[in-house]
Chains A and B, each alone.
Chain A
Amino acid sequence: MRQKWILAVTAWAMASGAQAGTWDGVYTDAQAERGGVQYQQRCGRCHGANLAGTFEIPPLVGRFMPYWSGSSLDVLFDYIATAMPLDRPGSLGPAANADILAFILKANAFPAGTKELSADNAALKAIRFDAVRPAAKSRRGNNPR
């Protein structure tokens, strides 16, 4: 009975438009670690070992957030997948790009979770890229006070 009730609430919440957000643990630590290795090999040369960028090259932390948050994760993923790394754009496969995105999320202090970040466009579109942790929702769903 309780299970059915939880399912009903979840279904209702999803129908109301509640999505996962980047504060909900949308990658795993193991994935971020893989992504970190890829990052140092393919991205760090320009964006810096600590993601700080340079005078000419944008950082991937800090003022990176206002430029990329506010939509859904597919936007950033698509950019990385098609435009990066700059010297060989699109040369990394979807799995590597997902891992690197996980690493970037971790570097920006988003919490890890139990499920890996997928490279699937629909799945990424369903994850809000929230700069700030949203206010706690009521159990009735997406109804902030």
Chain B
Amino acid sequence: MDRRHLLKNSLALGSLVGIGGCAASPPAPATVPKAASSLPAADRMPPLALVRAHTDRLFDIKVCIRPFRTKGPNLDVEHIGDTMVVHNYGHGGSGWSLSWGSADMAVQKAMSVSPKQIAVIGCGIIGLTSAITAQRAGAQVTIYTRELLPRTRSVRANGAWTPDSRIALAAEAPANFGATWEQMARTSWKNLRPYLGRAGNPVSFTEHYRLSDVPPGTPTPIDPNLPPLPPQSWTGLPTQTADFARYEERIHDLVPQPEVLTADNNPFPVKYGTRTSQMFFNFTEYGHLLTSEFFAAGGKIEMRDFHAPSELATLKEKVVINCPGFAARDWWKDKNMMPVRGQTGWLIPQPEVNYAMTYRNVQMLSKSDGIMVIALEYGDMKGYNDSDESVRRAESERAVRVIEELNSRFQRA
């Protein structure tokens, strides 16, 4: 980020905000007035619609436990009797992003014994993409699951391209995991391409504005009124965001990178910021599309809840791809699984809002099924070892008010 460039333009930005004075004025229009710009016409910002950020427009709040695994996702193969089990779980906050690449790796292992039939356990995004990938490799697939996609933890996630969000602890990931991660990320990126541009925008790009009152490189101050993180209830790592593994630099050639906001292209009354084109997932459309694909290729779904790993040996399929998500902690007794709680608040959808924003530790992402608002303070430590899936409304209301306050600073006409 170019600090000099930002500072040089902050005065210009200040004068932009100052236009019109402080006199009483008619109610603000829903769009932001544009200043004269020196940028080429194609790169200037179109007017942005504002989010109607009021707590009484919160019509849903979802809570999700991320299936975080300290050693990174379990991709091992094991045998239960003469049944081959290919594990594919523990993707933390990166499941939607890495799904196709992880599925590809799992299916390569599964197909190594040339099965005609493959069982997939679980119908979240990992299970569904594993099942479709197995079908594309020529197998007949049955998904065994206790919930269909709309009632899995997957659809309680954020749902943007976040391929290294809580994917492993840096100190516990296997030595070669970076390379594995990169292969997953690149494969996923390519596999997502056919879903771009479809009706209903199952997979789409948005402009994500990351705004800050403090210069880049300075940590965002945490609201002093926020409750502190609870005391650590686990031994050892992690103790801070830096303890989580980071790999996204490996794909800087692939993924759009941030550009610095200047007075010419910052539509917000906030001094500093970047803008990044970010891929995200509209769960309803994307989920429906994937499920339809699975059935169109002859897939079957059987509703079932497994209680012990030994039960897999009773399936007619001798090759199983195991995608239970967080349930692996209890079902497979995987002690490396740690719950990381996340909560998303949902404001009534506004299709005219076509961007995302992060400001003062609050994130907003406008999706087809609502405007998602997330409280992000404390970074990757937030929600760690918290498996309480009940709603905390105050958290979402606080986040909405941050956006409401920002919007109140927009210039009246």
Q: Shortest CB–CB separation between residue A30 and chain B, in angstroms?
A: 29
A87→B307 contact, CB < 8 A: no
A71 — which chain B residues lie within 8 A by C-beta? 307
Contacts A56-B151, A58-B146 hold; do A68 and B305 have CB atoms under 8 A apart?
yes
Contacts A46-B389, A57-B389 hold; do A67 and B146 have CB atoms under 8 A apart?
yes
Contact of B330 among A45, A66, A68, A83 (CB under 8 A): A83
- A 16-45 contacts with B by CB, 8 A: 45
B146→A56 contact, CB < 8 A: no
B388 CB–A CB distance under 8 Å: yes
Contact of A56 among B303, B308, B389 (CB under 8 A): B389
A79→B146 contact, CB < 8 A: no
B146 — which chain A residues lie within 8 A by C-beta? 58, 67
A56 — which chain B residues lie within 8 A by C-beta? 62-63, 151, 156, 389
A92 CB–B CB distance under 8 Å: no
Instruction: Encode B322-336 as 1/0 by CB contact (under 8 A) with A.
Output: 000000011000000
Query: How many A-B Cβ pairs are below 8 Å?
Result: 37
B147 — which chain A residues lie within 8 A by C-beta? 58
Shortest Cβ distance from B326 into A: residue: A86
A66→B156 contact, CB < 8 A: no
B304 CB–A CB distance under 8 Å: yes
Once bound together, how far apart are the Cα atoms of A86 and B386, in whole Å? 9
- A 47-87 contacts with B by CB, 8 A: 55-58, 66-68, 71, 75, 79, 82-83, 86-87
Once bound together, how far apart are the Cα atoms of A45 and B388, in whole Å? 11
Once bound together, how far apart are the Cα atoms of A89 and B400, in whole Å? 32
- B 259-312 contacts with A by CB, 8 A: 303-305, 307-308
A46 — which chain B residues lie within 8 A by C-beta? 389-390
Most chain B CB neighbours (cut-off 10 Å) among A56, A58, A82: A56
Once bound together, how far apart are the Cα atoms of A91 and B329, in whole Å? 16
Q: Shortest CB–CB separation between residue B144 and chain A, in angstroms?
A: 12
Q: Shortest CB–CB separation between residue A65 and chain B, in angstroms?
A: 11
B151→A86 contact, CB < 8 A: no
B388 — which chain A residues lie within 8 A by C-beta? 86-87
B387 CB–A CB distance under 8 Å: yes
B330→A79 contact, CB < 8 A: yes
Contact of A66 among B62, B303, B308 (CB under 8 A): B303
Once bound together, how far apart are the Cα atoms of A46 and B391, in whole Å? 10
Once bound together, how far apart are the Cα atoms of A45 and B146, in whole Å? 21
Once bound together, how far apart are the Cα atoms of A82 and B331, in whole Å? 10
B305→A75 contact, CB < 8 A: no
Contact of A82 among B304, B330, B386, B389 (CB under 8 A): B330
Q: Shortest CB–CB separation between residue B337 and chain A, in angstroms?
A: 12
Once bound together, how far apart are the Cα atoms of A79 and B308, in whole Å? 10
Once bound together, how far apart are the Cα atoms of A68 and B305, in whole Å? 8
B156 — which chain A residues lie within 8 A by C-beta? 56
Most chain B CB neighbours (cut-off 10 Å) among A71, A75, A87: A87
Nearest first, the 6 closest Cβ-Cβ pairs linking A and B are: A67-B305, A87-B388, A83-B330, A75-B307, A86-B387, A87-B387
Q: A58-B147, A67-B146, A68-B307 are in contact. List 11 more A-B contacts (CB 8 A).
A: A46-B390, A56-B62, A66-B303, A75-B307, A79-B330, A82-B330, A83-B329, A86-B387, A86-B388, A87-B386, A87-B387
24 A-B interface contacts by CB (under 8 A) = A46-B389, A46-B390, A55-B151, A56-B62, A56-B151, A56-B156, A56-B389, A57-B389, A66-B303, A67-B303, A68-B305, A68-B307, A71-B307, A75-B307, A79-B307, A79-B330, A83-B329, A83-B330, A86-B388, A86-B389, A87-B386, A87-B387, A87-B389, A87-B390
